[in-house]
Amino acid sequence: MRIRMIGYFLIVMAMFIATGCESDYPATGASPRADREAVTPRLVHVVPAAQDMVARGTVVTGTLAAEDQVVLSFKVDGRLSEITVDLGSRVRKGQTIAQLDPTDFRLRVRQAEAALQQARARLGLSPDGTDDRVNPEHTPLVHQSRAMLDEARRSRDRMVMLWERQLIARAELDAATSALQVAEGRYQDTIEEVRNRQAVLAERRSEVAITRQQLQDSELKATLDGAVRQRQASAGEYLAAGSPIVTLVRLHPLRLRLAVPERMAADVRIGQPVNVTVEGDRTVYRGQVARLSPAISEEDRTLLVEAEVPNEHGQLRPGAFAEAEIVTQAGERAVFVPASSIVTFAGIEKVMTVRDGLSVEKRVQTGRRLGERVEIIEGLKPEELVVVEPGNLVGGQTVTLSP
């Protein structure tokens, strides 16, 4: 009886389990919701692959450098009384950026001018004149010696006449002759003295010019249009001649130094356009190749190329790392798609296209990136529709196009 009861219990449990496992789902195990999802098309946004005329070039990296960089300093010693610029200050050529105390320089100018007036007076010239030319024969000193010479010559001539008449002794004639020789010597001395005074006058004139130049040099002026890269002195310091005050850099134009690989160097020419971009700035700056090195570097097998990049507004900074495309060919057709349509998986690049209401996966080879567009070198034809931002879309999936 116990065994029979256990058997009935097992039969009832089996029927209960069979009833609980019944389902309205098909035998395949797919739910109605899954069927609806499989049938409902996915809404996608598509754009046609665009064909455009673009230039072909060589992409290299380099460094922006200032066209000129100078360290300004004073030519004279003195105490720095004023400096009007600081780090980053923009300056124009000829602008005064620092000043030494001018008191000592002005006193030296007055001293030199007084010495010049004295030298002019010794030559019989007006103290305040500007013409230093003088004829030695017309100076008072030479006039005096000339008169004494003429008197000595006349005296000697009279003594000769009296000697010929036997009216004077030989000693008197000899004395007159000696006096004439002394007068001639004095005359030559006065001529040399005047010439010496002329030389002193020229020296005094030079000293005036030097002291005036030193007064001008007490002002430090910018030698180029640019900006202050570094300030190296402060007001109140006593500076020796040649001490660095500020470092200036020219910001327009800039030099872009590029190392072009040897295999690409043959296509680079002076005057070719250069498209430059820097980190953190989407602006494309235009320049051109300005200089080429005459030799290939033996260390890294590259050709040094310098391009000039306009920088009128100072947006680019010297020393910045830049990427440049040297345009070697112009007017080449290329296919472009939005960058958001490219899907990369395991190093393989592909795009999703649409054909007959189904998504189609196409493997492509990409090239250059221009802004938000990517060049398709191989795998896609112009005007083919590509899905923008495909996400997890897979090939063969039913899709519908968004308006």
SS (H, E, C) 222-288: CCCCEEEEEECCCCCCEECCCCEEEEEECCCCEEEEEEEEHHHHCCCCCCCEEEEEECCEEEEEEEE
CA 281 to chain centre: 19
Residue 115 predicted with pLDDT over 80? yes
Q: Is 395 helix (H, G, I), strand (E, B) or coil?
A: coil
CB count within 10 Å of CB 187 equals 19
Residue 90 predicted with pLDDT over 50? yes
**Tokens matching residue 224:** 């180029």
- Provide the Cα torsion 334, 335, 336, 341; round to 10°: -150
Superfamily of domain 57-66+250-330: Efflux pump adaptor protein, beta barrel domain (2.40.30.170)
What single-letter DSSP state applies at residue 40?
Answer: S
Closest C-alpha among 297, 222, 293 to residue 70: 222
Using pLDDT thresholds of 50, 70 and 90, give the confidence band for residue 10: low
Q: What is the Cα–Cα distance from 242 to 231, expressed in whole angstroms?
A: 15
Amino acid present at 186:
R
Q: What is the Cα–Cα distance from 403 to 401, expressed in whole angstroms?
A: 6
What value does the mean pLDDT of the chain take? 86
Report the topology of domain 43-54+334-401. 2.40.420
Would you list the domain boundaries of the chain? 43-54+334-401, 57-66+250-330, 69-101+219-249, 103-217
Residue 258 predicted with pLDDT over 80? yes
pLDDT computed for residue 5 by the predictor = 55
The residue behind tokens 């202050």 is 228
Residue 38 predicted with pLDDT over 60? no
Q: What is the Cα–Cα distance from 248 to 230, expressed in whole angstroms?
A: 7
Task: Tell how strand 69-73 and strand 42-44 pair up.
Answer: unpaired
Residue 14 predicted with pLDDT over 60? no
Structure confidence by residue, pLDDT tens digits, 306-326: 999 999 888 899 989 999 989
- CATH architecture of the domain with residue range 69-101+219-249: Beta Barrel (2.40)
Q: Are the C-beta atoms of residues 226 and 77 closer than 8 Å to each other?
A: no
Q: Is 382 helix (H, G, I), strand (E, B) or coil?
A: coil
pLDDT higher at 129 or 221: 221
Using pLDDT thresholds of 50, 70 and 90, give the confidence band for residue 64: very high
Q: What is the Cα–Cα distance from 323 to 258, expressed in whole angstroms?
A: 9
